[in-house]
Amino acid sequence: MPAFTPHRVHFGGDYNPEQWPEEVWAEDVRLMKEAGVTMVTAGIFSWARAEPRPGEWDFGWFDRVMGNLADAGVEVCLATMTASPPPWLSHRHPEILPVTAEGRLLHPGSRQHYCPSSPVYRAHAVRLVERLAARYADHPALSMWHVGNEYGCHTRQCYCDVSADDFRRWLRERYGTVDALNEAWSTAFWSQAYSGFEEVLPPRAAPTFPNPAQQLDFHRFSSDALLACHLAERVVLGRVTPGVPVTTNFMPHHKPVDQFAWAAHEDVVSLDFYQDPHDPETHLGAALAFDLMRSAGRGAPWMLLEQAPSAVNWRPRNGPKPPGAMRLWSWQAVAQGADAVLYFQWRQSRGGAEKFHSAMVPHGGTGTRVFREVAALGRELASVPQLAGSRVAPPGTALVQDWNSWWALELDSHPSTALSHTERFLAHHRPLFEANVPCDVVPPDRELSGYRLVIVPSLYLLSEETAARLTAYVRDGGHLLVSFFSGIVDDCDRVHLGGYPAPLREVLGLTVEEFWPLAEGATVTVRGGTGREKGPIREARGDLWSEAVRLEGAEAVARFDGGELDGVPAVTRHGYGEGVAWYVGTRLEALATRALLDTVREGAGVGPVLPGLPDGVQATVREADDGTRFLFLLNHGTAPARAALPRPMRDLLKPGGTAEAHVTLPPRGVAVLT
Amino acid sequence: MPAFTPHRVHFGGDYNPEQWPEEVWAEDVRLMKEAGVTMVTAGIFSWARAEPRPGEWDFGWFDRVMGNLADAGVEVCLATMTASPPPWLSHRHPEILPVTAEGRLLHPGSRQHYCPSSPVYRAHAVRLVERLAARYADHPALSMWHVGNEYGCHTRQCYCDVSADDFRRWLRERYGTVDALNEAWSTAFWSQAYSGFEEVLPPRAAPTFPNPAQQLDFHRFSSDALLACHLAERVVLGRVTPGVPVTTNFMPHHKPVDQFAWAAHEDVVSLDFYQDPHDPETHLGAALAFDLMRSAGRGAPWMLLEQAPSAVNWRPRNGPKPPGAMRLWSWQAVAQGADAVLYFQWRQSRGGAEKFHSAMVPHGGTGTRVFREVAALGRELASVPQLAGSRVAPPGTALVQDWNSWWALELDSHPSTALSHTERFLAHHRPLFEANVPCDVVPPDRELSGYRLVIVPSLYLLSEETAARLTAYVRDGGHLLVSFFSGIVDDCDRVHLGGYPAPLREVLGLTVEEFWPLAEGATVTVRGGTGREKGPIREARGDLWSEAVRLEGAEAVARFDGGELDGVPAVTRHGYGEGVAWYVGTRLEALATRALLDTVREGAGVGPVLPGLPDGVQATVREADDGTRFLFLLNHGTAPARAALPRPMRDLLKPGGTAEAHVTLPPRGVAVLT
Amino acid sequence: MPAFTPHRVHFGGDYNPEQWPEEVWAEDVRLMKEAGVTMVTAGIFSWARAEPRPGEWDFGWFDRVMGNLADAGVEVCLATMTASPPPWLSHRHPEILPVTAEGRLLHPGSRQHYCPSSPVYRAHAVRLVERLAARYADHPALSMWHVGNEYGCHTRQCYCDVSADDFRRWLRERYGTVDALNEAWSTAFWSQAYSGFEEVLPPRAAPTFPNPAQQLDFHRFSSDALLACHLAERVVLGRVTPGVPVTTNFMPHHKPVDQFAWAAHEDVVSLDFYQDPHDPETHLGAALAFDLMRSAGRGAPWMLLEQAPSAVNWRPRNGPKPPGAMRLWSWQAVAQGADAVLYFQWRQSRGGAEKFHSAMVPHGGTGTRVFREVAALGRELASVPQLAGSRVAPPGTALVQDWNSWWALELDSHPSTALSHTERFLAHHRPLFEANVPCDVVPPDRELSGYRLVIVPSLYLLSEETAARLTAYVRDGGHLLVSFFSGIVDDCDRVHLGGYPAPLREVLGLTVEEFWPLAEGATVTVRGGTGREKGPIREARGDLWSEAVRLEGAEAVARFDGGELDGVPAVTRHGYGEGVAWYVGTRLEALATRALLDTVREGAGVGPVLPGLPDGVQATVREADDGTRFLFLLNHGTAPARAALPRPMRDLLKPGGTAEAHVTLPPRGVAVLT
């Protein structure tokens, strides 16, 4: 498997020269040098230009683009050009168009207008990739492959007849017999038993809730259908250019694609992340997504393959990144393990749907704040080549995430449809981030023994095998925190019988007798124990959820106070084997979650990267092969922040500076200390 | 017509053994006995199991189920199994699938995925019922038939081409000639005159408001199309098992099905009612629905065929029933005339769309609060067999309800689209309920002479015949209260010309010159008269609606104060013949409506079941054939309530207790006194 | 071109006798005389009655209607009857039905259910118009033609295959070659290049944002497709009845139809306007719409072809017009240049979708407030025949409006999708209206030299030619005010490169370096200069938008205070040539906009019609050919208003009154002074 081993943190962006006359290209290369660009991603939307009519190829212009870049020493992450089929393809083959659950046909005119299961689309895509790989296999500019683009961004699932056929094929492979499918899908309910696979359909719009297991499997199938598109191209590249690393750009908090499953096929994991400058907590979402990327790649450096130099254009209201924000958020990616900082896109489009998306070279040209900040970051990254290849120091804490559980958690017909997988993960990641406690985000089958603390936030779908591994993890001395509505169903969305959460009852030392979801806007009071029971929570509010917990070995750390559940345990602690298992039965407000997690991780012996930091300062450590440790400090707050260092250290971003025992970061300030 | 004459109030629930392996069935029967179950409803969703492939029958398993139940002495309300067609039927006959007004096809995967007009569906359903009836006609467990299930719950109306054909047939039968249809539908407006029936369509999505009479007739047709499905099965049962009573489960506040028209075909009327524990007024909606059920059955005992033991799963957030609530609300049904208290369902499903719907036997088994409360209620009902067959004492008050008017009232293109039929009925029923004044809910053609007070809340569609009957009712001494926007249109949604509400002007003694609907959030002040005019209202707020009333014999009891209608009558009273007619021209706030109705019914000589009860206590009386009167007291409040009884009485639910002159009910407490 | 030269201001309404039995018609004519009716619009929805079956004509009944009206001296504005095709047409030709962008077919049952591009619809419409024109060409009642009705009211755009074909034809005509289309649509973006016209589709529902230039052209095409329907009929009328003026009724603030382009084809411009009595600012929207109508007709008298006598029926909640409001708002139209005040409709329908729309003769008959107010206005208008033919005195101010820019401004994928064209225009028109400064609303190609002040509110799409004309206008001494997001793109929605707003930078003396749209609910503070810079604004709030302006010759009149843009110019002034150009970079609150515009127009030497008027009083002047000036004063406020007149004047609406130097208007009062 070819490795991604850059000599420095890459810097650059998507390059779409086909939008501009050839005379602009020379300026492009000149400005790239000025901006410190080392890598561009080219060709993402070039299919219609490269194959203007079926089987008619035009690569001459692209040869010149590649030549220019090679001459300038800019590496190319070459796209396979298959993200947006040209109009002629859907015109000749309208059967490639996707269809929604409501039966609405999605037409060409934007992008990603293909059914992922379409053999016609796949065949044309592969034919193009064959040509492309053969032509540029030995080109000096070729550095990496970028397959497809943002899989599942718009067309998350397709419900057309072609997809239906492919879904049936997938089900046959999964279940073998229709009896097994009937069993897995609980079709005895509502008279849904199939007499043959040919009767099965995607969960199209129905009079009321479609079968949940059918919906769950359709999520799985849809991720796999996109993956099959990806692999069809990837196989060609692996054959034709075996030494060139391959990636595709994942999206953050992105439900359609099981990124743990996909990451196994990537030589390097990549992410697109678009902060919302109108959201003061946008860096928190980034922090979680970055940790997930790094963990998906098992700790190896990853690529920030797209971000905006400033504003985007696709939210209802698109604020620009204020001065310093783009630099701060770029360094956040590096601090959390990225070895590439790229943008969408190099030059701002004059027309089309993204002309108001910021670019490295804005409409207003180089005499703009945006270009100045881009070029400054380019220079800055060039000054610290030693960062490349270093890895984030292995965290002692892990959050367990599972796309299967995500899909199942957010199905309809639940005790409460207000539960959001992403909200639940952010709520548990945030107190770690704020405390500067590094953490991984791992799939349920990842080895856990290396972690001191494992957190399981509302992992609704949990196999007995995983539950057994979590139980053993605690028995052997691990610390575990589980929050409500975890361990409820098996892989087929069938309830684990015997009292919720049946497979975790032993390790948690309790049973949940009844779910007690709260009405919109309703809250409960949670009060901590007194005397011996005195724990991390004095009094806190919960909302969204409560439940009737019955202790079976665990002790109550806090209880509901008032209401129908007055006196019922809300937070519990269970010493089990060598370890400890905690449980939380409501959605605690943020401060209480922070206090609880501080207590839990202190018990687990998990500390921050650097203690005593002011609020809003993020700290991470990357370690180089030679043992050098780089301490990153980032000030996400609005006030200057002064931090005491463990020893006098030098800020690599201040060339010529001396080692100091303290560092003061202005708002949006960054230091890389060693 | 076979009668429903249980020897005690039935207790039990839906039983779906096909969801469980056969070894569980023995436990089922054992636990049913433990829980005091006397009746189960079986087979509702068994079609796919009973006919796994077209024409291939498998009743052996069901024979064993029926045998087990017979052996245990549990009566079976046997479902006709037609509620959810098996996948093979829609696979072979996709033309049975329903289509929405927007042209969206509804697919299998949930339930009720059939076009009610489909001859294919009906033929397959009838074929199944023939088999079923023949097989179990003489089975000792067979006690009743349950035809279909919750007709119109999800598929309320179908707009497909099959339905269009059937709609045209229905119209030909109704109107005879296309000229008559043109006249009835006022097609001279907007150039809509048809030259032949073949041009007529359902009111599918159109550029703007479809013809209102077309919409109204489509509501009628759709109720009739569902009824035709029902009757196609019912006819078979009446022929094969003439002595077995037949029912189907109505839904509360359910617009698609004209329950008065349907009730004529039922041997006993049944209702499903699912309280929302998050709604502190959920018992008020139940009270209205229960009164309607009893009235639809002309006072005979009815069946609560489904309720939840605790939480449901289909609202966005589903709270459980807190301790005592299920018992209280079950007794409320009995207090209002039910002779059966059944649940959905016996054993909580492990998979499928309703696995989080509570059941008599929860996922957690019998060691749960829910099972304990269920079994306790089972024992309690067993202790009072004498209640069965008694009837609610005939009320002196009636609310007039008409599905035709409901359909018409909520059409588009009205003075205000914010009028809700159900809200209007709840607003008029609530002050009676709170005052413990029993009332019936009757169709417009019901004989009224037995009532002292008749209430007509916003009965927009009112025929001249009904208006004449109401007029005669008052002339002969009746008391009548009419609220705004009543008597506006005829059966074809054509305005009664000559000043609103033309056919009621004489009895009300007024004309409404203009409607004056209020903007969202706007209110009007209503002020009562002074001196001689001094009436029930001092000062009150109205919203939603106001209007310009011109007195023509009536006197103003309250007038609008301020605004454009300053001084215009808002509430009027008209002595007419031997009776009195009241009119209300705005939506009064609840307290004012209560004060007004108290005055009106006092004038009519209609009093409460028991005077002087604390707020929140419901009182009803059932009378047995032998003259025994049972006084039910139910505390819907959150505080203990002490009630003075008319004489020392004994609480049947406290065996061994002595007769007392007072009873104190805890919150959610119930007493059955005699 | 035949002229519209009424001898007095016309009064009347839509007349739909086909809804009533013939015996009502005699009463109609009698009541028309009583109400002072001089003109009716007849036949709008008579197609199904006139051609009950294909090619079978029935005009006899309409002959009698026309005869009755002629006998009574009522002029007929004869509709072409094509607004709503009869059921037989769509039954035989379902391909005429329109389809939405989502692929939803719109069915008959309401009105306007035709694809504007349908050759079948057009052929049938033209055949009908030929018949109609030939039959009534010489009828004494025929006064005008009313072609179609409210084009684009419901079916704004059609996306069916017929429309797709017509769109391609339109594109071929516009662009000639597919290369030119690719260039214009920027199809290099997202791989959208077409290899032939046959691949092009309407912007149907797609996975994400469809190509913006495609969307923009589809707006243009759709307006043109409706216009083609209109012209197909108009051509017949011009041939058969060359001397009869032709009109069609425009709708206010109506995006689908480019009224400037259409007005060129009308002999007189007409408007339907339905005030919302629940909206206290409804007269402001009317004022803008009326100014636009007059300007579209280049100052000639226009017709208020429809208004409601009182309530409408198509809003969610429809308040009636309180006493005096209908008179006031009718006079507002006349004051702003109308020579006809007509209603929808003469007699209130008994059935159909608009039976609750008020009419001149209500359901309650003539003994109603509505009829009394209608008849009173009829008498009043009859008393001032000298108003007819007079024209509003030419304004010194113009707002520049462009349907192309409207369509482009509200496309998706913009910096902020919260910008509304209509809101922006209302916000700039209101301060002129409140100051009684008359203004025109003109297209970008209108000659500007006659104006002292030109206002350009957020004219996003602006050609270089228009920009050059605006620049020359200022250079030659004009005063110009431009608000943010103007001059951004060309006719193909391609950004003008070189710094925003490139083609206006010279005249404005500035560059906008970055857009800085605000989050929902967020505001900015704007503070005026001190000392020499002291301008119209001290401190004001802005919302929705801000931006980073860089001065290049202009001076800052106010700056952002605080936030990321602290100190950046928010309002600028640029002396350029002989004139002045102002720029506004945020959405100022109303008071600040008023203060700014007062300053700007004082600088431009533009004053009010009459100074010193109380708030809420509208003043306009119409001038007759003989030099007589009519001063209209209308009190839109809720309190009496006393106005000082420039000299003693006589109120024409108070016959017998004497000339006075002051006039006092009650709330909703009107005076016509001379």
Task: Give per-residue pLDDT as tens, B460-503.
Answer: 999 999 999 999 999 999 999 999 999 999 999 999 999 999 99
Judging contacts by C-beta atoms under 8 Å, the chain A residues touching residue B49 are: 188, 191, 193
Q: What is the mean pLDDT of chain C?
A: 97
Which two tokens mark A177? 């017999």
Please tell me the distance from the alpha carbon of residue A136 to that of residue B169, in angstroms, as a whole number.
69
Query: In the structure, what pLDDT confidence band is assigned to residue B665 with cuts at 50, 70 and 90?
Result: very high
CA A211 to mean position of chain CA atoms: 28
Whether C79 has a pLDDT exceeding 60, the answer reads yes
User: Would you state the pLDDT for residue C534?
Assistant: 61
Cis before A345 (ω within 30): yes
Which two tokens mark B38? 């006397």
Q: Per-residue pLDDT averaged across A273-290, rounded?
A: 98
Interface test with B, best of C15, C82, C355 (most B CBs within 10 A): C355
Task: Give per-residue pLDDT as tens, A615-645.
Answer: 999 999 999 999 999 999 999 999 999 999 9
User: C341 with C11: CB under 8 angstroms?
Assistant: yes
Decide if B150 is catalytic: yes
Separation in Å, CA of C530 to nearest CA in chain A: 28
Please tell me the distance from the alpha carbon of residue B40 to that of residue B32, in angstroms, as a whole number.
9
Interface test with B, best of C317, C321, C372 (most B CBs within 10 A): C317
Please tell me the distance from the alpha carbon of residue B589 to that of residue A303, in angstroms, as a whole number.
63
User: C96 with C120: CB under 8 angstroms?
Assistant: yes
Q: CA dist B399 to B300, B430, B480, C671, Å?
A: 18, 12, 10, 53
Please tell me the distance from the alpha carbon of residue C270 to that of residue C304, in angstroms, as a whole number.
6
Strand partners, B581: B480, B574
Whether C126 has a pLDDT exceeding 70, the answer reads yes
Which two tokens mark C253? 């603030």
SS3 state of residue B116: coil
Whether A529 has a pLDDT exceeding 80, the answer reads no
Please tell me the distance from the alpha carbon of residue C294 to that of residue A406, in angstroms, as a whole number.
60
Please tell me the distance from the alpha carbon of residue C186 to that of residue A129, in angstroms, as a whole number.
25
User: B85 with B95: CB under 8 angstroms?
Assistant: no
Judging contacts by C-beta atoms under 8 Å, the chain A residues touching residue C517 are: 317-319
Q: Check CB contact of B313 with chain A, cutoff 8 Å.
A: yes
Task: Give per-residue pLDDT as tens, A562-601.
Answer: 999 999 999 999 999 999 999 999 999 999 999 999 999 9
Please tell me the distance from the alpha carbon of residue C569 to that of residue C546, in angstroms, as a whole number.
10
User: Would you state the pLDDT for residue A531?
Assistant: 52
% of chain A exceeding 70 in pLDDT: 99
Whether C325 has a pLDDT exceeding 70, the answer reads yes
Q: What is the mean pLDDT of chain A?
A: 97
In this structure, what DSSP letter does residue A99 have?
Answer: B
Q: Angle formed by the axes of helices B282-296 and B421-434, to 10°? A: 90
User: C437 with C607: CB under 8 angstroms?
Assistant: yes
Q: Per-residue pLDDT averaged across B95-119, rounded?
A: 97
Task: Give per-residue pLDDT as tens, C559-610.
Answer: 999 999 999 999 999 999 999 999 999 999 999 999 999 999 999 999 999 9
Stretch (H or E) spanning B591:
helix B590-604
Judging contacts by C-beta atoms under 8 Å, the chain A residues touching residue B364 are: 498-500, 511, 513
Contacts of B358 (CB under 8 A, 6+ apart): B308, B309, B310, B311, B312, B320, B321, B348, B370
Q: CA dist B381 to A389, A494, B378, C477, Å?
A: 75, 34, 5, 95
Whether A535 has a pLDDT exceeding 90, the answer reads no
User: B284 with B426: CB under 8 angstroms?
Assistant: yes
**Contact: C190, A52; criterion CB under 8 Å:** no
Among candidate residues B220, B230, B285, B563, the one with its CA nearest the CA of residue B422: B285
User: C614 with C643: CB under 8 angstroms?
Assistant: yes
User: Would you state the pLDDT for residue A655?
Assistant: 87
User: Would you state the pLDDT for residue A657?
Assistant: 85
Whether C657 has a pLDDT exceeding 90, the answer reads no
Q: Per-residue pLDDT averaged across A82-102, rounded?
A: 98
Q: Per-residue pLDDT averaged across A125-134, rounded?
A: 98
Chain B: partners with 3+ C-beta pairs within 8 Å: A, C
Whether A92 has a pLDDT exceeding 70, the answer reads yes
% of chain C exceeding 70 in pLDDT: 99
Whether C533 has a pLDDT exceeding 90, the answer reads no
Task: Give per-residue pLDDT as tens, A435-485.
Answer: 999 999 999 999 999 999 999 999 999 999 999 999 999 999 999 999 999
Contacts of C127 (CB under 8 A, 6+ apart): none
Q: What is the mean pLDDT of chain B?
A: 97
Whether A2 has a pLDDT exceeding 80, the answer reads yes
pTM: 0.97
Specify the residue for token string 């030549």.
Answer: A67
User: Would you state the pLDDT for residue B532?
Assistant: 52
User: Would you state the pLDDT for residue A656?
Assistant: 87
Whether A203 has a pLDDT exceeding 60, the answer reads yes
Q: Per-residue pLDDT averaged across C20-47, rounded?
A: 97
Which position among B150, B233, B380, B434 bears the catalytic label? B150
Q: Per-residue pLDDT averaged across A154-158, rounded?
A: 96
Helix-, strand-, coil-residue percentages of chain B, each rounded to 5 = 35, 20, 45
User: Would you state the pLDDT for residue C535?
Assistant: 78
Please tell me the distance from the alpha carbon of residue B500 to that of residue C350, in angstroms, as a whole number.
12
For chains A and B, CB pairs below 8 A equal 186
Whether C87 has a pLDDT exceeding 70, the answer reads yes
Whether C529 has a pLDDT exceeding 90, the answer reads no
Q: Per-residue pLDDT averaged across C463-492, rounded?
A: 98
Whether A532 has a pLDDT exceeding 60, the answer reads no
User: Would you state the pLDDT for residue B529?
Assistant: 74
SS3 state of residue A592: helix
User: B389 with B268: CB under 8 angstroms?
Assistant: no
Does ipTM come in above 0.85? Answer: yes
Q: Check CB contact of B200 with chain C, cutoff 8 Å.
A: yes
Q: Are strands C587-588 and C510-515 parallel, antiparallel or unpaired?
A: unpaired
Phi/psi for C508 (5° steps) reads: -85, -20
% of chain B exceeding 70 in pLDDT: 99
Which position among C75, C266, C306, C434 bears the catalytic label? C306
Which two tokens mark C611? 């100074």
**Contact: C356, B195; criterion CB under 8 Å:** no
Please tell me the distance from the alpha carbon of residue A212 to that of residue A201, in angstroms, as a whole number.
13
Residue type (1 letter), B618: Q
Of B49, B98, B355, the CB nearest to A495: B355
The residues of A annotated with a catalytic role in the active site are 150, 306
Of B186, B198, B564, the CB nearest to C351: B186
Of A109, A112, A364, the CB nearest to C201: A109
